[in-house]
Structure 1
Amino acid sequence: MLEQVVVSPPGWQKALLSRIPSPRRPIEDTPLAPAPPARRRIVRSSLSVTGAGLAAVFYCLSFTPSLLPRAWFLQGVVAGITAAMGYALGAAGGAVARRLHGPFRARTTLIAWATLAAVVPVLMVIFLWLGTRWQRDLRVRLGMAPVPEYDIARTVWASLLTFGLLLLIARMLRLATYGCALLFRRVVPQRAAYCAGTLVVAVLAYSAFDGLLIANLFATADRLAAVENNGTGNGVTVPASTLRSGGPQSLVPWDTLGRQGRAFVAGTPRVDELTTFAGRPAIEPIRVYAGLTSADTLRDRAELVVREMDRTGAFDRAVVAVITPTGTGWIDNRVPRSLEFMYAGDTALVSMQYSYLPSFFAFMGDRSEVVNAADALIGAVRARWAALPAATRPRLLLFGESLGTYGMEMTFGTPERLVDGADGALLLGPTFANPTHRVLTEDRADDSPIWDPTYTRLPVEFADDAAELRNLSGPPPKVVYLQNATDPVVWWSWDLLWKKPQWLVGERAPDVTPDMHWYPGITFWQISCDLVFSNKVPTGHGHSYRWETVDGWAALAAPPGWTTADSIRLRVLLGG
C-alpha cells in the first residue's frame, strides 16, 4: 500500500507564492459608488435656441416706427430691452416644450442654430436699414433735423450692451434660485425645493426693486424737486407792482411762492408791450399765485388766493382765468401772456401749487393731489364769482395742461358739468386717464377719427392742429381740447398690449407715419418709451403745445374785433 506523500515547496517558493495577490471578484460584480453630480453652468451656460430666435424677432420689431422719432441711445436701450423680453419668452417656451416632450434632439438643435446663423444677420441688416429710413421719415414729418448716418452703429452697440446686461442679471437671479433650491432639497423634494427657491428669489428681487430702486428714485426726485422749488430762476426778481403776489402789500410772501410761482408772477409783459401790440392803451395785468408754504392746507391756500384777488381788484377785470398747473407748479408763460396780449392787460390770472414733483412722479405717486387742488381753487373762485351780479361778472375761463387737465375733469366729473362750469375751458394734452375726455371721444360722431373727433351734443371742440380752430362756424365752443395726434400722453393705454388702437385704424393724422403697425406687446412698449421724450419735439407734435394756446383762447373767448390775423401776429410774437 502506497503512502500519500505530500511534498512541501522549498522556502523560497513559499515566499514567492505569498507575494501573488489572491483572485478578486469580477469588475462587473463590484458595486460602483455614485458619481458626483455634474456642476451646472448657469451664468456661463449657452444661449437657448428658442430664446435667441424670438429675441432676434423682437429686436427687429423694435426698429419699426412709433409715434415719435428717437435719439440713438434711446433706440439702443429700447432695442436691447425688447430683445431681452423676446429672449425671456422664447427661453420659457423652450423650457415648457422640453418638459412636455423631452429634450430636443442634438441634430434638431444644430439645424436650428445653423438656420438662425444664416437668417438673423440678414434680418438685422434689413431692419437696421429700414429703421434708419423710418426714423428719417418721422423726423421729416415732425420738422426735425436729420441725424448722422453713423448713429445706427452707436444704436447697435447700445442695444447689445443693454441686452448683455439684462441677460447677466437674469442669470444671476437664476443662479440664486438654484442655490436656494440646493438648500431646500435637504428638507423637501426636488420640485418643491425649486418652487420654494423661485418664490424666495422673486420676493427678494421685487423687494429690492421696489424698496431700493423705486423708493430711492422717488426719494431722490423728491429731494431734488424740493431743492429746485426753493430756488429762483435767472432774471426773476421780486415784483414792484401791487397787482402781483409776492409784491408790495401782497398777502402772499415772496419766499413762499416756490420757484415756479415766482417765475409766474414775474413773467408779466410790460404795459408798453401790451399797448404796442393792441394798438390802444393797455393796463397792467394781475397775476395771483399761492405756493405750497403760503398756507397750511389746500383750502387755506385757495381762500388766500381769493382774498388776494379781492385785494388786487381781479373781479373788476374783463377776464379771470383759473390755471391748474403741472406737477411742479409750472405754467408755460405763453398761456397767460396769450390772454394778456389779447385783452391788452385787462385780465386776472390765478393759480396754486399742489406739488413740487414733476408731473410723471406726481401722476404715478398720488393723483388725488391735483384733483383736490383743482377742486379747492376752482370751487373757491367760482363761488366768489357766482356771488357777483351777472351783468358785471368778468368772463371766467379755466385752463389745464397735461396733469392739470386731469384735475379739472375730475373736479367736474361729467362733460355737462364741465361745459357749465365756466364761460370757457381750454385743455391741452389731456392724459390717457382723463375720464371726461374718454367719454367724449367714445361718443364722437361716427364719421370722425378718434384723433380729431367731432362731438355735436355739447359745445365741445377737438383739434389736433390749432390752426383748424380759426375756421369754426356757429357759436364759439365752451370747451376746447388740443391734442396732438402724436402725443403719447394722450394715446397710451393698457389695452395696447392686446388690442389694435383706433388711431391706427382707417384714416391717420398727417404726422402719423403709414409705416407704423400694431404688434401685440411691442406697440405698447414703444408708446411707453415715447413718453420719455414726448416734450423734445417741435410744437404741434408729441406733448409740445406752447403757442398753440393762442388759437385755443381765440376760439373760446376772443375779445371784440379779434381776427385770424391777430392770432397769427400773436403767435409770431410768442415765438411761433
Structure 2
Amino acid sequence: MSSVGLVFALVFFAWSMTPSLLPRPWYLQGVAAGICSATGYLAGVGVARFARALGLRPRWSEPTRRRGNALLAAGVGVWVPVSLLLGAHWQEQVRELVGVRSDERSYYGLVLAVAVAVAVGLRDVALLLRAASRRLAAAGSRFVPPAVARLTGAAVVTMLALLVVEGALVNGFLAVVNRLAATADRTDHPGVVRPVAPERSGSPVSRVPWKTLGKEGRAFVAGGPTAAELSEFTGRPALTPIRVYGGRSSAGSLSEVAGLVVAELERTGAFDRAVLAVVTTTGTGWVDPAATEGLEYLYGGDTAIAALQYSYLPSWAAFVADRESPQAAGAELFDQVHAARERRPPDRRPELVVYGESLGAFGGQAAFDGLGDMTTRTSGALWTGTPNSTRVWEDLTAERDPGTPQRLPVVDSGAAVRFADDPGDLDLSAPWGGSRVVYLQHATDPVVWWSPQLLTRRPDWLAEPRAPDVSPQMTWLPAITFWQLTMDLVFAADVPPGQGHHYGPVETVEAWVHVLDPPGWTAADTERYRELVEGR
C-alpha cells in the first residue's frame, strides 16, 4: 500500500460521506465511498510518482517509517468512525429535508465493509492492468525504445480494457436486460382489462391489436377517468377521453407505428377534440398518469392523447444503450401528428400540446430546433424532469437572463418559457405569450442535474444559493459529487411528490393550467382536484 495513496483515499472517503440531493441507502453509500476511495488512492499514487519524477525522494529511516505508519494507523482509527458518524448525521438531515422516513442510521456502520470491498476490488483491477501493461512494455522494449514501449503497452491495455467493459460487460448486460424486458412486456399490470370504448386503441374496433400495445401501452389505454367520473367532478356532461397508442410490435418501423397512431387519431375523431397531446414515453413505453389524467380533468374529457413505444428497456438502460430511439420517436410522432392537424381547416384544429417526463422529455424535445420552433408549432409544452443532456434545455439554461439561477432560469423575462421547482415559481410579473412552455424541475432531482461534467467542474447550481430542500452542507468536490449523484439516480423517484424525480399529480395539473389556461378552471378547482387525488 502506498502511504500517500492511503492518505488521499481517506480524504476521498470522508468527502463521499458529505450530503448530496437525496438520501442514500447504506449499501449505495458504501459503493460510492468505495469508488471515491479508490479514486483518491489512485490520485495519491499519481502525486507520489510525480513527486519522485521531480527528484523529491525523501529517505526516511526505519524507525521514522514505523512511527509514521503507527501515526497513520491511529489517524485511520479516528478519521473513519468520525466520517461515518458525520455521514449518518448528514443523511438524516437530507431525509428530513425531503420528507423521507428515517430507518437506516443503525446500518450505517456496514458502509465501511462495502466501501473496503469495492475499493480493494478496484485497486486489484488497476494492479492487474498495470501488470499487463508492464509485460507488454517489457516485450516491446526489445524492438523499440523503452519509453515508446511503455506508452504503447499502456495504450493497448487501456484500449483492450475499454473494449471488454463496453463490449462484453455493458453490451452483454444490456442484452440480458433487453430480453428480460421484452418478456415482461408481454405481461400485464394487475387489474388491466381490455377497453371496449371505441375511443381507445386496442378496443374491438381499433386498428391496433390489443396484444401488440405492450405492458405499459395496455395500462395506458385501459386506464384514466371515465366520462362519469369526469362529469361528477366538473358538474357538467363529459366526454370519454381519447387515448391512442402504438406498441413496439404494432408495426414494422418507427415511422409505421407513428402512422398507425395518426390513423387511430383520425378513427377516434381526436382532431375534433379541444386539446390533442402528443406524449413521448419513457423507455418501456410508460406514460405518466399524473400528466394525462390531470389534462383530462381540466377539459372534462374533451381531449385526445397520443403516444407510442420505441423500446422494451427501462429508461436508465435505454439512456445508456440507445439515445437515438427516444429522439427519433419524439420527432416522428410529433411531425406526423402535426402534419395531420395542418391538413384540417384552421378553425377545426385542436390545441396541440406536447409532454414528456425524464427520457420522454429528452426524446420529445428532439422534435424541435429550439424554443421558437416549439412555440410556433405547438399551443404549449410541459416537460418534467428533463435530463441535463437535452439540447433545447441546455440552450435555454445557458441563455438565461443575467442574475437568474441555473436551477430556476428566467429566459426573456418568462415571455414564452418558464422553469419551476414548485408551480408557484411560474407566477412571474411579465405576461405570458400565446404558446407557453413549462419546465418542471425539482432542485433535488438528480436526473436533471447529473452530468459527466460534475467529474471536473463545479456547476452553477452548486455555486449559487441553494434551494430550501437542498442541504446547505452539500458542496461540489472533484469526482465525488459525480458519484454521489450517480447513486442518487437509483432511487430518484422513491421520495414524496415534489421531491427528487417524483412529479405529483397536483403540481402537474397546476403546470398544465399555466400552459393552457383552460376556460372556467379556478384555484378552487385545483384544490378540489387535490382533495380528489389525496382521497384515493
Does residue 351 of structure 1 match 2:311?
Answer: no
Q: Displacement of 1:188 after TM fit? A: 6.8
Q: Displacement of 1:539 after TM fit? A: 1.6
Q: Displacement of 1:422 after TM fit? A: 1.0
Determine if contact 1:554/1:567 at 8 Å carries over to the other structure.
Answer: no
Alignment correspondent of 2:22: 68
Amino acid aligned to 2:508: T
Q: Give deviations 1:434-483, integer Å, cap 9, x for gaps.
A: 22212222222223222112222642111111244478874476111101
Does residue 459 of structure 1 match 2:413?
Answer: no
Alignment correspondent of 1:574: 533
Q: Displacement of 1:112 after TM fit? A: 3.8
TM-score (norm 2): 0.92
Query: What root-mean-square deviation, in Å, do the aligned CA atoms of Structure 1 and Structure 2 show?
Result: 2.3
Alignment correspondent of 1:270: 226
Alignment correspondent of 1:22: none
Secondary structure, counterpart of 1:574 in structure 2: helix
Aligned partner of 2:92 among 136, 150, 171: 136
Alignment correspondent of 1:90: 44
Amino acid aligned to 2:51: A
Matches within 5 A, 1:461-476: 461-469=418-426, 474-475=431-432
Residues 535 and 395 of structure 1: is their aligned pair in 2 closer, same or farther, counting only changes over 3 Å?
same
Aligned partner of 1:119 among 70, 75, 80: 75
Amino acid aligned to 1:322: V
CA distance in 1, matches of 2:382, 2:121: 46
Secondary structure, counterpart of 2:78 in structure 1: helix
Q: Displacement of 1:186 after TM fit? A: 6.8
Structure showing greater Rg: 1
CA distance in 1, matches of 2:429, 2:353: 19
Amino acid aligned to 2:481: T
Q: Give deviations 1:383-430, integer Å, cap 9, x for gaps.
A: 221222222322211111112222232211111111122111101111
Does residue 363 of structure 1 match 2:330?
Answer: no
Amino acid aligned to 1:481: Y
Determine if contact 1:334/1:574 at 8 Å carries over to the other structure.
Answer: no
Secondary structure, counterpart of 2:108 in structure 1: helix
Alignment correspondent of 1:39: none
CA distance in 2, matches of 1:571, 1:213: 46
Aligned partner of 2:473 among 495, 509, 515: 515
Determine if contact 1:470/1:564 at 8 Å carries over to the other structure.
Answer: no
Residues 391 and 106 of structure 1: is their aligned pair in 2 closer, same or farther, counting only changes over 3 Å?
same
Amino acid aligned to 1:239: P
Q: Displacement of 1:176 after TM fit? A: 4.0
CA distance in 2, matches of 1:196, 1:495: 28
Q: Displacement of 1:197 after TM fit? A: 4.8
CA distance in 2, matches of 1:423, 1:202: 51
Matches within 5 A, 1:392-431: 392-431=348-387
CA distance in 2, matches of 1:564, 1:306: 35
Q: Give deviations 1:510-549, integer Å, cap 9, x for gaps.
A: 1111111122222223223322222222221222213121
Aligned partner of 1:260 among 208, 216, 224: 216
Q: Give deviations 1:180-231, integer Å, cap 9, x for gaps.
A: 5565677777666655554454343333222221121111121112112222
Amino acid aligned to 2:388: F
Larger mean CA deviation between 190-199 and 69-78 belongs to 190-199
CA distance in 1, matches of 2:436, 2:156: 57
Q: Displacement of 1:147 after TM fit? A: 2.5
Aligned partner of 1:563 among 522, 525, 529: 522
CA distance in 1, matches of 2:350, 2:147: 74
CA distance in 2, matches of 1:387, 1:199: 58
Does residue 534 of structure 1 match 2:492?
Answer: yes
Residues 199 and 446 of structure 1: is their aligned pair in 2 closer, same or farther, counting only changes over 3 Å?
closer
Residues 189 and 446 of structure 1: is their aligned pair in 2 closer, same or farther, counting only changes over 3 Å?
closer
Residues 231 and 472 of structure 1: is their aligned pair in 2 closer, same or farther, counting only changes over 3 Å?
farther
Secondary structure, counterpart of 2:207 in structure 1: coil
Amino acid aligned to 1:465: D
Residues 200 and 279 of structure 1: is their aligned pair in 2 closer, same or farther, counting only changes over 3 Å?
same
Larger mean CA deviation between 262-271 and 89-98 belongs to 89-98
Determine if contact 1:469/1:551 at 8 Å carries over to the other structure.
Answer: no
Alignment correspondent of 1:341: 297
Determine if contact 1:332/1:546 at 8 Å carries over to the other structure.
Answer: no
Amino acid aligned to 2:25: A
Q: Displacement of 1:323 after TM fit? A: 0.7
Determine if contact 2:326/2:359 at 8 Å carries over to the other structure.
Answer: yes
Residues 450 and 114 of structure 1: is their aligned pair in 2 closer, same or farther, counting only changes over 3 Å?
same
Secondary structure, counterpart of 1:554 in structure 2: helix
Larger mean CA deviation between 128-137 and 69-78 belongs to 128-137
Does residue 320 of structure 1 match 2:276?
Answer: yes
Determine if contact 1:177/1:194 at 8 Å carries over to the other structure.
Answer: yes
Amino acid aligned to 2:439: Y
Determine if contact 1:98/1:104 at 8 Å carries over to the other structure.
Answer: no
Amino acid aligned to 1:75: Q
Alignment correspondent of 1:224: 180
Structure 2 alignment gaps of length 5 or more: none
Residues 544 and 80 of structure 1: is their aligned pair in 2 closer, same or farther, counting only changes over 3 Å?
same
Q: Displacement of 1:259 after TM fit? A: 1.1
CA distance in 2, matches of 1:507, 1:180: 51
Amino acid aligned to 1:462: F
Larger mean CA deviation between 381-390 and 510-519 belongs to 381-390
Q: Displacement of 1:58 after TM fit? A: 0.6
Secondary structure, counterpart of 1:230 in structure 2: coil
Alignment correspondent of 1:58: 12
Q: Displacement of 1:81 after TM fit? A: 1.1
Q: Displacement of 1:371 after TM fit? A: 1.9
Q: Displacement of 1:69 after TM fit? A: 1.2
Q: Displacement of 1:99 after TM fit? A: 4.3
Determine if contact 1:342/1:558 at 8 Å carries over to the other structure.
Answer: no
Amino acid aligned to 1:308: E
Residues 329 and 56 of structure 1: is their aligned pair in 2 closer, same or farther, counting only changes over 3 Å?
same
Q: Give deviations 1:301-346, integer Å, cap 9, x for gaps.
A: 2222121111111111121111111111111112111111221211
Matches within 5 A, 1:22-61: 47-61=1-15
Alignment correspondent of 2:503: 545
Q: Give deviations 1:243-289, integer Å, cap 9, x for gaps.
A: 10010211111111111111110113222211211122222111100
Larger mean CA deviation between 288-297 and 95-104 belongs to 95-104
CA distance in 2, matches of 1:196, 1:386: 60
Q: Give deviations 1:556-575, integer Å, cap 9, x for gaps.
A: 12432211221232234234
Does residue 493 of structure 1 match 2:432?
Answer: no
Larger mean CA deviation between 485-494 and 288-297 belongs to 485-494
Structure 1 alignment gaps of length 5 or more: 1-46
Amino acid aligned to 2:516: A
Larger mean CA deviation between 518-527 and 371-380 belongs to 518-527
Determine if contact 2:328/2:366 at 8 Å carries over to the other structure.
Answer: no
Residues 457 and 566 of structure 1: is their aligned pair in 2 closer, same or farther, counting only changes over 3 Å?
closer
Larger mean CA deviation between 69-78 and 471-480 belongs to 471-480
